[in-house]
Structure 1
Amino acid sequence: MTRHYFLLWLTVSMVCSVGLSNAEADVGPTVTLDQPAHFTAVEGNDVQLPAASYRVEQFGDSGLRLMRVGAPPIEIQATRIPHDESISAPLTLAVMEEGQDEVLHLVLLLPDGQALDAAGSFSGVQSRATFSPTLRPLQLQSAVTQIKVTPQPVPLHPAPQQILPASSIIRVPQASVGNVIAAVNQGIWITWNYLAMQHPEVVAQTFADVQAGKKPPSVLAGFASSAELNDMLKSNWTGEAARLNATS
């Protein structure tokens, strides 16, 4: 797989509620990509983020709004997840797991201990990116510790923190795949993200087996939170597994 690189610049300051102008391009949590990435819009369709700088803010209960100069805002789907980081202002992260060069996570950490994780891909293969599990609290902790934090000057409207520019993507260790046993690529370290990207049919079949009582729910440990798994298990995974197996 071709290795993808993009330049990531992170800044954190106070979030404003006004529209994005040239003067406000650097206000609020921002992220800059030097190559396009695909995400799922709030309407459910694929949307491409062009290479540009974006200001990021929460959209609704489980979405992200990305704004750039001279273009309308883009709203993408995200999953609400917990985090344990002590922050006093919203923080935006762009994260990829070690060994993965396809799935990109745009994460907005909020001061209340909640975060919004939007999983996308560089290729636009949303059928696979959709299966990508959310980042775990330890992975978010690893990402935050890689960022240099310095005090913000204290003028009229001080921001509690400032994130200095980073020169490359934030890489974090992969999440454990738990007890799922897959007869694919024996001898390599299999993780949920590996299965989601390379064998989404295995992930779908695992969910189907849990629904049918063939496997205990514990095999899904590490894929998502308990609440998220309960919601996911309401879907027709038998049908999804059949569809993926037919197209693989």
Structure 2
Amino acid sequence: MDTDMNRISNLDIYLTRMQRSILDKMFFIDKVFEPFKYILDFGCANGELIKAMKPMFPDYKYTGYDISREMIEAARKNVPDAQFYDNWDRIDIPFEDSLINISSTVHEVYSYCDEKDIDIFWNRVFGSGFRYVAIRDMMFSQAEDIPVRKEQLEIVRNSSYAEWLKSFESVRGKIESQRQLVHFLLKYKYTQNWDREVHENYFPVYTEELMKRIPASYRLVYKDVFTLPYTSWQIRKDFGFELTDHTHIKIIMERII
């Protein structure tokens, strides 16, 4: 993993952004019915999701994992009565009685890890025997990857965000597809950590590729592809057009016993 590129210049702003989506990150809680006892939050950051869920759903035991020692130290202070780890091999819960929640983490794994580490990630997700696997992330469908809607692109080019678009294209190439434009529209407001954001790939895999990753040992029990409401509102407010492209996916998989 490229730890220098992964460094966050303004941690407070980064964490505030994460908190806005806390409720949506709990999407799995009313959609799984076979009993389990543990929730493992993969990429837990400072533990805000666990902190929010514990009083609402006290019957579960909560564990957080993050590769960042700084985040784990913050999580332990934030939620002292939960378990947090920065070393996967030290996690001490029965995976077969657990749900692993992977929210806004898949794209980071692909952005900062090499192929070997990506394989390790998926092996941990599907090879550890979790009762449930829940994934929520930004994702674009290959079926929707059409040539860019030129009228939308022109509006952005003539807006107050034109310089950020120019910076985006200098790193990620000239925008020619709708996928590239939506990629920019998901990050143009995050200028405080721009150097990190512009290099991070929000759409490293297509939705269809993710679905092919599901092994025969798991069955899909829930799927939702959608446009994030906050993003739609922000784009309508800043540019005056409606974003109809799907920007996110939520899926839940259950292990076949």
Q: Tell me if both proteins adopt one fold, taking TM over 0.5 as the criterion.
A: no
Class of the TM-score when normalised by the shorter of the 2 chains? under 0.3
Give the structure-2-normalised TM-score: 0.26
TM-score by length of 1: 0.27
- The structure with the largest helix share of the pair is 2
The structure with the greater share of residues assigned to strand is: 1
